[in-house]
Chains A and B, each alone.
Chain A
Amino acid sequence: MNAPFIWIILPILISILLIIFRRHRGVIVFSGLAICLLFAWSAWIVSFDQVIQLGTRTIKIGETLSVFGRDFVLSESERPVISLIYFINAFWILGAYYSKPTRLFVPYSILVVALLTAVIAVEPFLFAAVILELIVLLSVPLLAEPGQKSHKGALRFLAFQTLAMPFILFTSWMVTGVEAGPGDLELLSRAAALLGIGLTFSLAIFPFHSWIPMLAEESPPYLAAYIFFVFPLGVSLFALGLLDRFVWLRESGILISIVQILGGIMVFVGGFWAGVERHLGRILGFAAIMEIGYTLLSISLIEKNGLLIYFWLFIPRLLAYVLWAMSLSKINRDSNNNINFGNIRGVGLQSPFSSIGVLIGNFTLAGIPFLAAFPGRLVIWEALAKSSPIIASGTIIGSIALIVAGLRTLSVLFVSKPLPIKENSLKISPLSDSVISEDKMPLLETDSTDRLEKRIFLIENNWVNSIIWGLFFLLIIYVGNFPQFYIRILQNFLSVFEHFGQ
């Protein structure tokens, strides 16, 4: 028995098994949730490469699995990150009950976390680029559902990620030479340039970010948000691994400055475009671009507790993305997959919880005080203000622009006059599971305020959905106001990167 088998091979087998039971949505969601929590919990408590007493038996979980002459190694120091990845996925699976994406989402997400674990485990480390490409290939069919107006976002996502892989793989060979002769500046600069190009494609760094808003517009919001969260997570862990392993990269001042400038540009540009956008999905996409920018900024502050900030940002980001995406999915379903401002006027009166969820997600990522992301943002802004006031100002302007996007959304959802109600659209969209009884139907023919209030209870969700929505809402408030409770846990993650964590 070894760790890569338990946390990579076993989840892959389970995900294949879950595909068979995909027709039962509730069963698959809650079994997927239980499986992810079990893997997260076991990674948290079980020590690798040590003898464990299980009743009368003793077992030892090894660290290495050899496949075709190459090793997958999960070491003791990587346990917290494995646990974090599975824990994060549990939240996404929970949100899937509310948002009702494709029935393949749960097996797919378990497969993705297994592959993300493989990204951490594979040796040589740079072979992870191929595994990231496999995640992309698995994602394309889910992102490009039949019936969508266009698949250009999915195609561009596939193209950019495929272009990234060769650059990173070729660097893997070059860095071996750099390690052998670190004084070879020419080789070093070429390796850094190739790696930079690869990571720029892979992390959707400006100017190769265009697939994000396109995907956010065309694809189901929950799946798009999942990709926006999980993919940068995998690539950024990979990039941090590179910085940790190669001293010549870590000590390159120019590289860190470039990363910081790019991060600042992404936060500013993402926020600006979100502020002037009129499509709810694309606003989420631009917010995702901002988040990648914040990830880069935290990496650039690596000498100033940047690693802690990097992990700190994950929890608020996760909560905001899931709440935003699951609420947006509900609005998207009820609006016949058209979430342009012109088509969702007054939807807040029909779906108040989902509309508030979209707004809370938006304002959380903008860094509004008392919401989850605010403490982390404050630390970043403070650190940036000391080293680069221009970049700090740019990021604050970006966040203000995202607040503007939220206020515009608020105005459209709650203040604008609702569109005339078509009876058919309220009977319910084809994808929705909500039911309106026939005796209540006459109620829908008029548009008075009291009737609208009654409609809320007809169309809004069942009690399980309310609990899930409430849980995310409370967690966002809690994390925003009491960050000290989970920052202590985050200290465990720093040991993953042996040079940064010290």
Chain B
Amino acid sequence: MEINSFATPSLIIIFIAVMTIFLSRNWRWGLTSLGIMYLGVFGLIAISWPTNLAVVKLISGWLASSVLAITQIFSTQKSKQVSQPTSEFIFWAFSAILIIIISYSLSSSLLVWLPIFEFQQSLGGILLMGMGLLSLGFSNQGFRVSMSLLIFLAGFEILYAAVEASVLVAGLLAVVNLGIALSGAYLIVSRTEEKQTS
């Protein structure tokens, strides 16, 4: 079985995962979906890279998700599960639909300009970058900001994998992913400690 046959299922996984992250305000759902999203990212990167190198993305993504999950578990913010108003849900849903439409449009243009990409890579990459950017624009807390940055970077890495297969860059980008998760964890913990002491 060729790796390319996993492209469409990977894109579907990414789509479901990122919509769950986007629409759910529950951090458990969000982080579980982030972990699943990296499965899809791995599937799309494996089209361009050898599987053993693409696995680096999967593992670093899972590690980053785990770091954030562990931090959330031990932070006091876990008790603050605020229910999401319907109006907010509708707003996010419409925003997500808008990003999907733009991503579809841009991915077609990107394929004309750079035919080296598969359609699934192009759509998956742009969709994740767009969702990451939109989520980043509405976030001002460590957890959401780091998750948005991880989504944005995952999208970029899908596209970049098609043009650059350097082991050094793969390693450095894995370190960057972990670093973002650790920085986010640090910011969550330091805010939590502050709240506890005040």
Contacts and interface: CB of A to CB of B under 8 A. Distances in A.
Interface residues of B, number: 38
B186 A141 contact: yes
Nearest to B132: A163
A165 interface: yes
A68 B179 contact: no
Nearest to A122: B168
A144 B176 contact: no
Interface string A165-183: 1100110110000000000
B187 A151 contact: yes
B70 interface: no
Interface string B177-198: 0011011001101110110010
Nearest to B193: A146
Contacts of B191: 151
Nearest to B175: A134
A237 interface: no
Interface stretch (A19-27, A152-160, A267-275, A436-444): A152-160
A173 B163 contact: yes
B152 interface: yes
A145 B190 contact: yes
Contact of B166 (A69, A154, A158): A69
Interface string A224-235: 000000000000
A147 B194 contact: yes
Contact of A162 (B166, B171, B180, B197): B180
B16 interface: no
Interface stretch (B7-15, B25-33, B36-44, B153-161): B153-161
Contacts of A190: 113
A68 B167 contact: yes
Contacts of B153: 162, 166
B153 to A, nearest CB: 7
Interface in B65-116: 113
A145 B187 CA distance: 9
Given A134-B175, A144-B187, A154-B187, A162 B149 contact: yes
Q: Is the interface of B mostly helix, strand, loop or mixed?
A: helix
B145 A158 contact: yes
A185 interface: no
Nearest to B155: A166
A133 B183 CA distance: 12
A452 interface: no
A131 B169 CA distance: 10
Contacts of B113: 190
A456 interface: no
B3 interface: no
B175 A127 contact: no
Contacts, number: 96
A162 B149 CA distance: 7
B142 interface: yes
A1 interface: no
A252 interface: no
A67 B189 CA distance: 35
Contacts of A70: 166, 168-169
A137 interface: yes
A137 B152 CA distance: 16
Given A68-B168, A158-B149, A173-B164, A152 B179 contact: no
B172 A134 contact: yes
Given A137-B179, A151-B142, A173-B163, A162 B152 contact: yes
B173 interface: yes
A155 B164 contact: no
Given A140-B187, A162-B149, A127 B180 contact: no
B160 A163 contact: no
Nearest to A149: B194
Contact of A68 (B133, B145, B164, B166): B166
B104 to A, nearest CB: 20
B159 A134 contact: no
B23 interface: no
Given A151-B191, A162-B152, A69 B168 contact: yes
Interface string B128-141: 01000100100011
B190 A166 contact: no
A148 interface: yes
A126 to B, nearest CB: 10
B146 to A, nearest CB: 8
Given A145-B190, A169-B160, A137 B167 contact: no
A159 B179 CA distance: 13
A158 B129 CA distance: 16
A410 interface: no
Contacts of A67: 168
CB-CB nearest 8 A-B residue pairs = A137-B179, A166-B156, A68-B168, A146-B190, A68-B167, A70-B168, A140-B183, A130-B172
Given A133-B176, A137-B182, A140-B187, 6 more contacts: A69-B168, A131-B172, A134-B175, A144-B186, A166-B129, A173-B160
28 contacts: A67-B168, A69-B167, A69-B168, A127-B172, A130-B173, A133-B179, A137-B176, A137-B179, A137-B180, A140-B183, A140-B186, A141-B186, A144-B186, A145-B190, A146-B193, A151-B187, A151-B191, A159-B145, A159-B148, A163-B152, A166-B129, A166-B156, A170-B159, A170-B160, A170-B163, A172-B164, A173-B160, A173-B163
Interface of A: 67-70, 127, 130-131, 133-134, 137-138, 140-141, 144-148, 151-152, 154-155, 158-159, 162-163, 165-166, 169-170, 172-173, 190
